[in-house]
Amino acid sequence: MNEKGEYPPGTNTWQFNFKFNLTEDMYSQDSIDLLANSGLQFQKHEEEGIDTLHFAELLMTSGVVLCDNVKWLSFHSGYDFGYMVKLLTDSRLPEEEHEFFHILNLFFPSIYDVKYLMKSCKNLKGGLQEVADQLDLQRIGRQHQAGSDSLLTGMAFFRMKELFFEDHIDDAKYCGRLYGLGTGVAPKSSEEAEEKMSILSLINNGQQ
């Protein structure tokens, strides 16, 4: 989507299905049941799923991370970004919340969590589908599928921006905040900018 919420022509939403093994990986049975009922085929994930380290390498060099101009729209996404940070760093997540947000800011400088924005939207409550229903949005695809949920999240963001924020989101108040995680983003610093440039330099050298 562009800054007006418009889609490019043709296919504009992608879903990446990672390798997952029900006999080796940890999981919640309730979550597996929910996803299976939503159409996920775990046998295919095991046999044809994307290797996460390979995905992280391609994502790192794609130009969509470490970039202030790329805006990430999400819904109650603390765990999602935790997973992404773990992939990109190939290491355990930091134990301290402020350290996590420091790393998060490096890779994803502009995040808007729709669930966090809802704090300022009178009478808007519930999960993604409930919010979409309240905003009179039509889902494309099946619920709990990442591609469908992502598209619906983007639609919800722009409808909320129009109805509740007069088409202007206050970045100082909302950008970088994740619902349910403390006070949110740590202030950006010159040290952080230097770290980002250092990472970009390493990426560029690796591509040569």
Domain ranges of the chain: 19-49, 52-207
Q: What is the CATH class of 52-207?
A: alpha beta
**Average pLDDT value for residue range 123-141:** 97
CA distances from 187 to 66, 88, 99, 105, 134 (A): 16, 21, 12, 9, 34
Higher-pLDDT residue of 204, 147:
147
Q: Predicted confidence band at 183 (pLDDT cuts at 50, 70, 90)?
A: low
Residue 187 pLDDT exceeds 60:
no
pLDDT for position 190: 60
pLDDT for position 74: 98
State pTM to two decimals: 0.86
In sign, the C-alpha dihedral spanning 159, 154, 44, 108 is negative
pLDDT for position 19: 97
| 202 closest CA partner among 106, 60, 20, 85 | 60
pLDDT digits (tens, 9 = 90+) for 20-72: 999 999 999 999 999 999 999 999 999 999 999 999 999 999 999 999 999 99
